[in-house]
Copies of this chain bind each other. A is one copy, B any other.
Amino acid sequence: MRSTILSVGTEILFGEIVNTNTVFLSQQLQQLGIDVMYHHTVGDNSGRLADLIKLCFEDCDLVITTGGLGPTQDDLTKETACRVLGDELVLHQPSMDALEARFQKFGRPMTENNRKQAYLPSKSTAFPNDCGTAPGFALEVDGKCIICLPGPPHEMKDMWEKQAKPFLEKKADAVIFSKMIRTFGIGESALETAILDLVDGQTDPTLATYAKNGQCSLRIASKRKTREEAEAAVAEMLVKVQERVGEYIYSTEDEELFDVLGKKLLENNISIACAESCTGGLFAGGLTDIPGISQVFDRGIVTYTNRAKMEELGVKGETLETYDAVSEQTAKEMAAGLQKKTGCRLCLSVTGNAGPGGGTEERPVGLMFIGAAFDGKLVCRRLDPRGRDRSGNRRWAVLNMCELALRLLEGRE
């Protein structure tokens, strides 16, 4: 199946919002095995929208629109879709009931133009909106299918998961099941080499690698007659992948490093504290983004100056003088000092030069050290420069803190 994603909204053309809907839908369609041929964006203008929908159907069988389903006069997607595919809007009573119930629940008066949202194309399949007022729908005429979803991302995603995705899965003659495997510490080409024999000559499941921000992911996807068959094929391939690169895998469920670490800390009730220099609080900030983490996270200390490192963490002046603040010794003393102070079971530290200035030959921009104290162990990981900018260096250090912590918790370091 060939598809186009069509975004409707003048605010997108003004550059006022980043169109994340299109990114989400592209990934989702890809996973369903549906080719995405184009992305188009058009303003709230019925004539131009109609022309674009017609154009889409010249080359594609499926058009997914987002936006323009609201109650105001410039919301024109429904009317235009009807016009192009030769249908008409009729009252959809279940949608009207839902709309009235929603307004009642929030104690707001329902205005006349809100009622407009309960009108849907007569031949369409209605998609209820659990997160907002505008229902969506799928309209199929002569082998052409248009699916209209609301513009606000949380409404769109919810409707996609509950309505549009199952709708499209039912239409397909096969089911695609996939898993995104997250790795850390292995480059894309090394990963590809390690699984080369699994990729070669293999048509199903397929394996595809993705590199982003210094991390590689691997998607294992299978297209079979039933979901059970596809799941089994993916599981079987995952075992083979794990035999080869299991050492580098931190999630088989497409989770972020922070989420995996947070879950592990909470599950095992392991208290944690951190001492950051060059990352300036980003590790603490990321970890505390996880709801409920206060159960295990005691404190974080951003020791930017040498004085703060000595006062807060008991780093020795001698160590700073002899080895420098950016050194394995300092990183270790930071972690050990933090553990002594807080009594937390896991204490992490980082010190380094994120740049852009201050680099020397001996200690170039990007040289950073991660320290960790855990259950009597005191370890350090050295990060060498890889040409990243300040933000990139800081992010890279934070990811390494997460990953080193995970390895320690799992007894792999």
Instruction: Tell whether, in the assembled complex, residue A40 and residue B39 are in contact, meaning their CB atoms are under 8 Å apart.
Output: yes
Minimum distance in angstroms from A294 CB to a CB of chain B: 6
Q: Mark A16-55, 1 if CB is under 8 A from B, else 0.
A: 1111101111111010000011111111000010001001
Q: Does A394 contact B (CB under 8 A)?
A: yes
Task: Please report the C-alpha to C-alpha distance between residue A11 and residue B331 in the assembled complex, in whole angstroms.
Answer: 40
A12 within 8 A of B: yes
Confirm or deny: A388 has a beta carbon within 8 angstroms of a beta carbon on chain B. Answer: no
The answer to whether B299 touches A312, judged by C-beta atoms less than 8 angstroms apart, is: yes
Query: Given A16-B210, A302-B284, A391-B289, does the pair A39, B41 have CB atoms closer than 8 Å?
Result: yes
A317 CB within 8 Å of chain B: no
Contact with B along A267-290 (1 / 0, CB 8 A): 000000000101111111101110
Are A304 and B294 closer than 8 Å at their CB atoms? yes
Q: Does A305 touch B at the CB level, under 8 Å?
A: yes
Asked if B14 and A30 make an inter-chain contact with CB atoms under 8 angstroms apart, the answer reads yes
A37 — which chain B residues lie within 8 A by C-beta? 13, 42-43, 48
Q: Does A292 contact B (CB under 8 A)?
A: yes
Q: Which of B23, B30, B279 makes the CB contact (< 8 A) with A285?
A: B279
Judge whether B300 and A281 touch: CB under 8 Å: yes
Contact B301 A302 (CB under 8 A): yes
Taking chain A's interface residues, is the majority helix, strand, or loop, or is none over half, making it mixed?
A: mixed
| Structural contact, A302 and B299, CB atoms closer than 8 A | yes
The answer to whether the Cβ of A160 comes within 8 Å of any Cβ in the partner chain is no
**A49 CB → nearest B CB, Å:** 11
B-contacting residues, A302-352, CB 8 Å: 302-305, 307-308, 311-312, 341-342
CA distance A355 to B24 in the complex (A): 26
Cross-chain contact A287 with B280 (CB below 8 angstroms): yes
Contact of A281 among B18, B23, B278, B288 (CB under 8 A): B288
Asked whether, in the complex, the Cβ of B25 is within 8 Å of the Cβ of A15, the reply is: yes
The residues of B that contact A308 with a CB separation of less than 8 Å are 298-299, 342
Contact B298 A301 (CB under 8 A): no
From the candidates B25, B40, B278, B297, name the one contacting A38 in the complex (CB within 8 A).
B40
| A356 CB contacts on chain B under 8 angstroms | 291
- Chain B nearest Cβ from A350, distance in angstroms: 12
A357–B292 CB distance below 8 A: yes
Known contacts A280-B288, A288-B302, A391-B289: A15-B41 contact under CB 8 Å: no
- Give the CA-CA distance A58 to B279 in the complex, in Å: 51
Q: Give 8 A-B pairs besides A299-B304, A311-B341 with Cβ atoms closer than 8 angstroms.
A: A14-B30, A14-B36, A17-B23, A38-B48, A280-B285, A282-B285, A298-B308, A299-B302
Which are the 6 A-B pairs with shortest beta-carbon distances? A280-B288, A15-B26, A281-B284, A281-B281, A300-B302, A15-B27
14 A–B pairs (Cβ distance < 8 Å), ordered by A: A12-B39, A13-B26, A13-B39, A19-B22, A40-B40, A281-B284, A281-B285, A289-B394, A294-B305, A297-B305, A299-B303, A299-B305, A300-B300, A300-B304
